[in-house]
Structure 1
Amino acid sequence: MTDTPPGPPESPEPGPQARLAESPAEVEDALLSRWPETRLEPSLDRIRAFTALLGDPQTAYPVIHLTGTNGKTSTSRMIDGLLRTLNLRTGRFTSPHVERMSERISVDGEPLSDEAFVRAFNDVAPFTHLVDAEQDHPLSFFETVLGMAFAAFADAPVDVAVVEVGMGGTWDATNVADGAVAVVLPIDVDHAQFLGDTPLAIASEKAGIIKPGATVVLARQQEAVATLLHERAADVDATVAREGLEFGVVSRVPAVGGQTVTLQGLRARYDEVFLPLYGAHQAQNAAMALAAVEAFTGTEPLDDELVRAAFAEATSPGRLEVIRRSPTVLLDAAHNPHGAAAVAGALDDSFAFAPLIGVLGVMSDKDHRGLLTELEPHLAHVICTQNTTDRALPARELAEVALEIFGQDRVTVVPDLATAIDQAAALAEAGEAFGDPLGSGGVLVTGSVVTVGEARAMLHRERT
């Protein structure tokens, strides 16, 4: 790494299509005017042209690159926390955001401030129209935000960037960066219309982030998926670290406010580490994060106390997050059956709600039947709702499937999300209606990151 990493070159005079901003709202408006994240054209030509104009900032620092179906953001945040305890300056790029767009770009563990977010946009905006003019398709929302992140990290400058793919791997815009460490979390079916409808097909796309000479941290996978990933690693002479062999979760015990875990890392074993997150999936994410940081830092074990300190501060907004008490309201961004199964497991070992009322709002392109099926044994009642985006599945369409799975008496339709949460809280408090006179009920809001983000914003406003 050079002492003075390159930043964006001097900006040209903005052309008529360049939109500079004076506020975060103007940045968001400019970004949202571009191709949305759901409109894809499999090519790295645009992002390569964009980063070249910016001085290839993604080459100014080493990168830890993450892919997988679920768990990327939680694992990214844990990696970030561990690196910062080692006195390394970090950049972190994750998606999608929960509440604010600026959450996608973090430096030193904190999202960009409003001022920094505007500055990051204006630093790259004069170059966006140059790319648009030269390419067959314009830069997308995702590509533009990613360019902002890469440039902001170089400008900081950071010692290491933790970068989560947006979707897939090979053709994901983040793949213009070459990860010194590639982290592959469990692979299942999601985004089937873009990536394929089997785990193996999806794995072939995600394997693209494994670069020559990298270290690959692999989660447990289905056998055929594991074989494909190992073959990719062998093809590019990458070193492989496998969950369950070189590293993994030795034990975990649910605890007040989270769980206590013992982790076997690549260099040492770390006993009885408190993790303030719920569920076996978060323990697995912690093991993945630990192995990734050990692989990045070299051959020596990490300091035991630093590992404890980092994991004790771990947070993951919108991932089984307790956002309110009396009754308890949980938020979880699970949006596919694999994610819902992880939530169900965490509910079983960490919570004892009676009843638990679900508030579900999903996107129209997701497997909502599979998600409902995974959650049905854990929910006394489900309220079908919707978020405010155009991609939201209408609440009544969701309810048609929910009725087949839950039955007539366990489904309510409330299209307005705020009203749905209020009604769910009332049902949770009326425990005697479900055979529990103590009324120790809870509410789970889930089905989409957007639904959770909107709910989180509403419930935060209530508390202020």
Structure 2
Amino acid sequence: MPENSLTPGEPFDQFSVASVYAEMLARAPENQMQPRLEPVRMAMDVLGNPERSAPAIHITGTNGKTSTARMIEAGLLAHDLRTGRYGSPHMGSVTERISIDGVPVSDETFVRIWDEIRPYIGMVDEKLTAEGEAPLTLFECLTVLAFAVFADEPVDVMVLEVGLGGAWDATNVVEGQVQVVTPISLDHTEMLGDSEHDIALEKAGIIKPGGFLISAAQVPEAADVLLEAAREADVPFRFEGVEFGVESRLPGVGGQQVTVQGIAGRYPELLLALHGAHQAENFALAVAALEALIGGGEQELNMENLQLACEHITSPGRLETLRTGPAIIADAAHNPAGLEASALALKESFGLDKLVLVVGILQEKDVRAMMTTLYEQYEDLVSEICFTQSVSPRAVPAEELVSMAADAGFREEDLHTTERLDEAIDWAVARVDEDGATVSGGVLITGSITLVGEARTLLGAEDDRLRKDS
């Protein structure tokens, strides 16, 4: 029996989620993507191909993947379909990555399924080692575990978010019935390429025969790549702004009212409890994906079901208000395009006349470009910035961020640093209160998903869950 394996009758708390995740963390980290699929295919084969246990909606792109996945999940649940959603990274517990019917998989199931597949993971590792290759990585193991959980439940539809890229991502062992591409922009350029064209080539790897491509509006260089891939695979394709899109939207308290023209129907005046044009566009993408799966792109969705889905759509860490008086807002934007979209939405929806930023960024990001975007978007609103760092070993030291912020145009006297996020939040709140802006001012925590995850934990954000029966 494998080391640390459960024995019959042993309570699950003796073999916890934490111990399973610690075991996975000892492997190659998920930001060290291996350009390979064969090891995951090997694992799928020995497990009886759980990736084929249900139809899949496969999602890639640069920004908006998680929000779009959650919207699709809510839509499927509203149509009384049992869902399994896999995404990354997590902000709290690793179990958030694998959701059943909108709820993070239970600790017991997470541990039990891992214990069941662990010997097979070991077999694959042994074969890889014998062939001179690295054992399964952290992300590969989590992906294998997700497929095994979905087969065990079982689910009616899998909603799979690519971890990085597309062609060589571990999730790409699946044959997606619907293949969704969110907006493509520059990110992870050291691994995916330094142009939208090159990045699109990697992401187009999920487009396969038998699928149905649903794409957000793209820059021409990326759109051309996706169109060519769709034609080569002989799959139908629909692009936002051509065959479907947001017809109108009206920002309001707590979100926006959106009218969407889908690929099979028109859906007027839906209430979406998320902020910003980018979230309305994500929603239009999700609606088109639902139409493609449920009716082959030819059947209009039930309007009541779609409104029910809207009532349950949330996106933790995406312009999420964690506290009021003053407002403390968390946003997981972690590249220039994401920062720009969030800034536009914040200015449109929150009505703040003073903003203090708390910023932390990871090393693999284009930090200088992110600083330029922050300066261009917030120069007229931000009074001061506190640079900090998450506990991730990949976090850029706060002092280095200050130097790059000054180069981008921020005044050095407006910049502050602390290595601890709790101290950064306290400082930022004090700066808002000091100027008497408790009601009209706010704090924005942004720059990385890990930083926002820690902020949500510090400020006691509730677990976000969808419920089919509510």
Could you say which TM-score interval applies, normalised by the shorter chain?
Answer: over 0.9
Residue 353 (structure 1) aligns with: 352
The question of 1:316 aligning with 2:315 is answered yes
Fraction of identical pairs, as percent: 46
The question of 1:277 aligning with 2:270 is answered no
CA distance in 1, matches of 2:347, 2:462: 29
TM-score scaled to structure 1, two decimals?
0.93
**In structure 2, do the counterparts of structure 1 residues 460 and 349 end up closer, same or farther at CA, with 3 Å as the change threshold?**
same
The question of 1:26 aligning with 2:8 is answered no
Runs of 4+ in 1 over 4 A off after TM superposition: 15-21
Structure 1: runs of 5+ lacking an equivalent = 1-13
Bigger drift between 421-430 and 453-462 goes to 453-462
The question of 1:257 aligning with 2:250 is answered no
Equivalent AA in structure 2 for residue 318 of structure 1? G
Equivalent AA in structure 2 for residue 452 of structure 1? V
Shift of residue 311, structure 1, vs aligned partner: 1.1
Residue 456 (structure 2) aligns with: 456
CA distance in 2, matches of 1:371, 1:381: 17
Shift of residue 409, structure 1, vs aligned partner: 2.3
Output one character per residue of 1:345-376: Cα deviation in whole Å (capped at 9) or x when no partner: 10121112121111001101211222222222
Residue 216 (structure 1) aligns with: 213
Shift of residue 23, structure 1, vs aligned partner: 1.0
Equivalent in 110, 116, 125 of residue 117 of structure 1 = 110
The answer as to whether partners of 1:344 and 1:374 remain within 8 angstroms in 2 is no
CA distance in 2, matches of 1:195, 1:402: 26
User: 1:84-95 residue pairs with structure 2 within 5 A?
Assistant: 84-95=77-88
Bigger drift between 279-288 and 33-42 goes to 33-42
The question of 1:288 aligning with 2:285 is answered yes
The answer as to whether partners of 2:4 and 2:15 remain within 8 angstroms in 1 is no
Residue 433 (structure 2) aligns with: 429
Residue 6 (structure 1) aligns with: none
Shift of residue 380, structure 1, vs aligned partner: 2.0
Equivalent AA in structure 2 for residue 295 of structure 1? A
CA distance in 2, matches of 1:462, 1:119: 25
Equivalent in 49, 52, 59 of residue 56 of structure 1 = 49
The answer as to whether partners of 1:65 and 1:163 remain within 8 angstroms in 2 is yes
Residue 372 (structure 1) aligns with: 371
Equivalent AA in structure 1 for residue 445 of structure 2? V
Equivalent in 390, 399, 409 of residue 396 of structure 1 = 399
Residue 4 (structure 1) aligns with: none
Output one character per residue of 1:178-201: Cα deviation in whole Å (capped at 9) or x when no partner: 100000011011111110111110
Output one character per residue of 1:135-175: Cα deviation in whole Å (capped at 9) or x when no partner: 11100111111111101101111111000000000000100
The answer as to whether partners of 2:110 and 2:149 remain within 8 angstroms in 1 is no
The question of 1:248 aligning with 2:241 is answered no
The question of 1:149 aligning with 2:162 is answered no
Residue 466 (structure 2) aligns with: none
Shift of residue 303, structure 1, vs aligned partner: 1.0
Q: For 1:369, what is the secondary structure of its paired residue?
A: helix
CA distance in 2, matches of 1:177, 1:344: 35
Residue 387 (structure 1) aligns with: 390
Residue 10 (structure 2) aligns with: none
CA distance in 1, matches of 2:184, 2:83: 26
Equivalent AA in structure 2 for residue 429 of structure 1? D
Q: For 1:415, what is the secondary structure of its paired residue?
A: coil
Q: For 1:273, what is the secondary structure of its paired residue?
A: strand
The answer as to whether partners of 1:19 and 1:30 remain within 8 angstroms in 2 is no
CA distance in 1, matches of 2:258, 2:189: 34
Q: For 1:419, what is the secondary structure of its paired residue?
A: helix
Equivalent AA in structure 2 for residue 247 of structure 1? F
TM-score scaled to structure 2, two decimals?
0.92
User: 1:166-185 residue pairs with structure 2 within 5 A?
Assistant: 166-185=163-182
The answer as to whether partners of 2:260 and 2:268 remain within 8 angstroms in 1 is yes
Q: For 1:330, what is the secondary structure of its paired residue?
A: strand
The answer as to whether partners of 1:216 and 1:239 remain within 8 angstroms in 2 is yes
Equivalent AA in structure 2 for residue 312 of structure 1? E
Equivalent AA in structure 1 for residue 240 of structure 2? E
CA distance in 1, matches of 2:22, 2:190: 28
Shift of residue 116, structure 1, vs aligned partner: 1.4
Residue 411 (structure 1) aligns with: 415
**In structure 2, do the counterparts of structure 1 residues 462 and 422 end up closer, same or farther at CA, with 3 Å as the change threshold?**
farther
The answer as to whether partners of 1:355 and 1:439 remain within 8 angstroms in 2 is no
Bigger drift between 52-61 and 406-415 goes to 406-415
Shift of residue 40, structure 1, vs aligned partner: 2.2
Equivalent AA in structure 1 for residue 433 of structure 2? E
CA distance in 2, matches of 1:439, 1:65: 42
Output one character per residue of 1:229-256: Cα deviation in whole Å (capped at 9) or x when no partner: 1000000101001101211000111111
Equivalent AA in structure 1 for residue 38 of structure 2? D
The answer as to whether partners of 2:325 and 2:439 remain within 8 angstroms in 1 is no
Equivalent AA in structure 2 for residue 289 of structure 1? A
The answer as to whether partners of 2:5 and 2:115 remain within 8 angstroms in 1 is no
Q: For 2:459, what is the secondary structure of its paired residue?
A: helix
Shift of residue 27, structure 1, vs aligned partner: 1.2
The answer as to whether partners of 1:431 and 1:440 remain within 8 angstroms in 2 is no
Residue 192 (structure 1) aligns with: 189
CA distance in 2, matches of 1:295, 1:275: 21
User: 1:75-86 residue pairs with structure 2 within 5 A?
Assistant: 75-86=68-79
CA distance in 2, matches of 1:281, 1:373: 20
The answer as to whether partners of 1:17 and 1:129 remain within 8 angstroms in 2 is no
CA distance in 2, matches of 1:327, 1:97: 27
Shift of residue 16, structure 1, vs aligned partner: 5.6
CA distance in 2, matches of 1:18, 1:129: 12
Bigger drift between 298-307 and 255-264 goes to 298-307
Q: For 1:345, what is the secondary structure of its paired residue?
A: helix
Q: For 1:34, what is the secondary structure of its paired residue?
A: coil
Residue 446 (structure 1) aligns with: 446
CA RMSD of aligned residues (A): 1.7
Equivalent AA in structure 1 for residue 209 of structure 2? P
The question of 1:38 aligning with 2:31 is answered yes
The answer as to whether partners of 2:276 and 2:348 remain within 8 angstroms in 1 is yes
